[in-house]
A and B are shown apart, each in its own frame.
Chain A
Amino acid sequence: MSDLELSVAAKDTGHTRWLPAEWLWRAMLPIALVVLLLGFAAVDGRVLSPANLLNIAQQTSYLALFAMAQTVVILTRGFDLALGPTVSMVSVGTALAMAGATASGHDTTTVLLAGLGAGFGLGIACGLFNGVVIALLGVNPFVATLGSYNIAIGVATTLSAGRPVQGVPGTFSQIFYGGNIFGVPAAIAITVAIGVVLQLMLARTVFGRSLYIIGTNPRAAAVAGLPVKRILVLTYVLCSALAALGAIMMTARTGSGEPNLGGSLSLQAIAGAVVGGTSLAGGRGGVGTAVLGALFVTILSNGMNLTRIDGYVQMVVLGAIVIIGVLLDRLRLERRQ
């Protein structure tokens, strides 16, 4: 019978075959960064000026911190929508504490310590709240942090009566904004230092290892005896503490406590993490992906500012970037399977 005879069937039927190889995925973002930068430069030469490049680096250092914070929770299949409002709340709290301490006649060191204490205290409290609600009470991270998003906005607005909080001492701004270490601006130096420490923590500590295992298979992690709940609470605390550090640095830059400081930061931080290649499915990502993603988002908004693209259009672009990032991640997961 002729139809039983051999004929080599089509070889090109692999429906996932067109997806690029792993190394190409990794190279994609750096290539996109360069293309983006050159593209904007073609429209406006100022993009590549030394002053603007330094500006991009400074901007990135804030967003990179926030993207790292977001990455840490996303690694465990979590999410922190409340990151932006946390930043606002910390900014207001830090400024209020310092203004109060100055008014009651304390010396500069005490004033600074009061500010840092209030800032990190609020940040850690926020993270503890998120962590307890999510890990111990079992509320979905999206819903839990959507709730704390509103709580933090409410607190920040109430404390500040909706107005910038004045009275941030000049020394504070000098240290956390104006200062430099061997000529490297403070913001960049702090972010690099934190990035190195965080990367070491992720790769070399039991805590870091646990984040990846929990993100990959939370049930298996629990059966294997990892203290999953405790680790998750700590993860949200770490996330909010990093956000608080960023908030303190940004408050130093503006010189006042700003109740709207974190406005679009939640989305930007998520965009940074996701574009960098942190997987929303958990267990994949790190400091490198957060920094690259933050760089991408910063260059994009810097370029759009310089080429005078309307602010509302920029919001549309940012939103689209998050969705595209998630879709790319899914394609990548499909390719692996």
Chain B
Amino acid sequence: MDVDIDLKQTGPLLALRGISKRFSGVRALDRVDLDVRAGELHVLFGENGAGKSTLINVVSGTFPPDEGTFHFGGEEIRHLTPQRARAIGISPVFQEFSLVPSLTVEENLFLGREVSSRGVLRTREMRKRARALIDELGFDLDPSQRVDDLSRAHQQMTEIAKALLGRVRLLILDEPTASLTERETGRLFELIARLKSQNVGLIYVSHRMREIRALADRVTVLRDGRHIRTLDAATSTDGELVELMTGRKIDLLFPTIAHKPDKVMVDVENLTLTDGSVRDVNFYAQAGEITGIAGLVGCGKSELIRAIYGLEPMASGVVRIDGLRYEFPTPRRSLKHGIAYFPANRIAEGLALSRPIRENASMTGLDLPAFARFGVLRQAAERITIAGIMEQLQLRPPNIERTAGALSGGNRQKVMLGRALTRELTVFLFDEPSVGIDVGAKLEVYEFMKRLVEAGAAVIVVSSELPEVLALSNRLYVMHHGRVAAELKGAEKTEQNVLASFFRDHLAAEVA
């Protein structure tokens, strides 16, 4: 091709027209149009199940559209495969990582496109190029480390580096900051700016308003697989975007919760975990209030509640539940003690995706007489109970015999919440409760917490979303490097104070 891209500046880099895609009868995309210009960052905005991931999968060649046209760089593209997409410069970074855990960072970068001469790998050459790329990106990443030794944030960086190796004309980022720290996010934003100046087009999927504000040139809103509108980011308001996304007005995102702190339900003394992710932590949570734990990725906040529930081994320290010492926790015993845990990763730790919603919801209650007698399931009672619970939680559609895998992120979280309603519980541990779910479902999760607290339960919320923990919690712990850096309540509970407690710690570390 002898036509230079710059000459084609008038036409968009990527032009999709009337793209439709069905999955076993369900219309995931319905005649969607999308233009992405070179040098533009184009945000895809929509609730889960709106068709964002299907659309980026179509663009990156994972599966073909049922109908519609696909033009890239002015040429019509048919029969796109992931390999071909990469070859013509379309490079996706998905939320689910495509890395091989047992290989090193640099081996992953060059996976499938190894540099070799006469069948012999040119390791040194590859190492040099990997090093150069990582330095250019400004990531704090060691190319010779194995991927399974890396934190999620570092795996995310590897994934991004992998996408940028070679010539990229269109970069697709699917919630890239979900597991990055503030500093790493800053680096990523600088990188995005540089890519834009090099005329690379970007498709960016995110739920975070702040990012959309900071980065977007244009925003395309999708709802129920349809293209709703494409707006200029500069001239649209947050409210407008959310309204377009949900199809209704959402005035207040966080409910007002009446906290009435009562007796101490969870009391942790000098807790240290075997892997050192939590060290000498003192912490308590009262009935009738939401206790928040904020902190950066990898600060030990998830590990803390996971240890209470019995998922991380403790080295030393004491945990008391309702005043009684609780030793050697396991999930099963925790549930019997009235403690529930809602995992951040619902696919890996939450649901059996190919089993029905009903079985997923009753899973934690199988030891109860309501669901089984002498080991024999009471199937009719199970159906009635679970149908009632899921109706109360407004599962859409309300069919509890569908598989959990067929549900959107928000509905999956509802199944997890439904589990908690199958038995008597007093302590609720939420690990990143709103990750991967849309605004509407978020609101329902918050309402659920509100009902729990107002009914006298102790609720602990661990979250990397600062606005979320600030708004929900009555008392807020800030964790940093495995320790509690601050405990904030009332008027002290501000974003500034939270950030300051990280900062203080950094200073202390530098002095030491």
Contact = CB atoms under 8 A, between A and B. Distances in A.
Interface in B346-362: 348-355, 359
Given A6-B18, A10-B79, A216-B352, 16 more contacts: A7-B76, A8-B68, A9-B64, A9-B76, A10-B78, A13-B64, A205-B376, A206-B375, A206-B376, A216-B354, A216-B355, A217-B352, A219-B348, A220-B363, A224-B364, A225-B331
Given A13-B64, A210-B366, A223 B332 contact: no
Contacts of B332: 225-227
A66 B480 CA distance: 55
A3 interface: yes
Task: Give 10 closest A-B pairs by Cβ, nearest first.
Answer: A13-B64, A216-B352, A225-B332, A224-B363, A225-B331, A217-B352, A225-B335, A223-B349, A206-B366, A206-B372
B379 interface: yes
B75 interface: yes
Contacts of B65: 9
A4 B15 contact: yes
A10 B77 CA distance: 10
A1 interface: yes
B42 interface: no
A308 interface: no
B232 interface: no
Contacts of B349: 219-220, 223
Nearest to B311: A223
Contacts of A221: 352, 363
A315 interface: no
16 contacts: A1-B74, A6-B69, A9-B78, A11-B66, A14-B63, A205-B375, A205-B377, A206-B376, A209-B366, A213-B355, A219-B349, A220-B348, A220-B351, A224-B363, A224-B364, A225-B363
Contacts of A227: 332
Given A225-B335, A225-B364, A3 B71 contact: yes
Contacts of A206: 366-367, 371-372, 375-377
Interface string A279-290: 000011000000
Contacts of B377: 204-206, 209
Given A14-B64, A213-B355, A220-B348, A3 B363 contact: no
A8 B78 CA distance: 10
B78 A207 contact: no
Contacts of B334: 225
Interface in A245-259: none
Contacts of A15: 64
Interface in B273-321: 311
Nearest to B15: A4
B436 to A, nearest CB: 16
Contacts of A207: 375
A223 B354 contact: no
B331 A7 contact: no
Q: Which of B311, B335, B355 has the most CB of A within 10 A?
A: B355
Contact of B67 (A8, A225, A226): A8
A204 B353 contact: no
A278 B355 CA distance: 15
Contacts of A7: 69, 76
Nearest to A224: B363
A212 interface: yes
Give the interface size class of chain B: 35 or more
Contacts of A226: 332, 363, 366
B341 interface: yes
A8 B193 CA distance: 36
Contact of B363 (A6, A13, A213): A213
Given A223-B331, A226-B332, A213 B352 contact: yes
Contacts of B331: 222-225
B94 to A, nearest CB: 15
Contacts of A9: 64-65, 67-70, 76, 78
A283 B17 contact: no
A210 B331 CA distance: 15
B352 A283 contact: yes
Contact of B350 (A8, A10, A210, A223): A223
A1 B69 CA distance: 14
Contacts of B348: 217, 219-220
A1 B75 CA distance: 11
A160 to B, nearest CB: 38
B226 interface: no
B343 A223 contact: yes
A226 B343 CA distance: 15
A13 B350 contact: no
B11 interface: yes
Contacts of A3: 71, 74-76
Nearest to A208: B377
B95 to A, nearest CB: 16
A1 B366 CA distance: 63
Nearest to B18: A6
A223 B76 CA distance: 49
Interface in B1-50: 11, 15, 17-18
A10 B65 CA distance: 9
A206 B366 CA distance: 7
Interface string A246-280: 00000000000000000000000000000000000
Interface in A184-230: 204-207, 209-210, 212-213, 216-217, 219-227
B61 to A, nearest CB: 10
B79 A13 contact: yes
A216 B343 contact: no
B227 interface: no
B419 interface: yes
Interface in A1-32: 1, 3-4, 6-11, 13-15
Given A216-B354, A225-B331, A225-B364, A6 B17 contact: yes
A7 B377 CA distance: 56
A11 B67 contact: yes
A329 B343 CA distance: 31
A9 B11 CA distance: 20
Given A204-B377, A205-B375, A212 B355 contact: yes
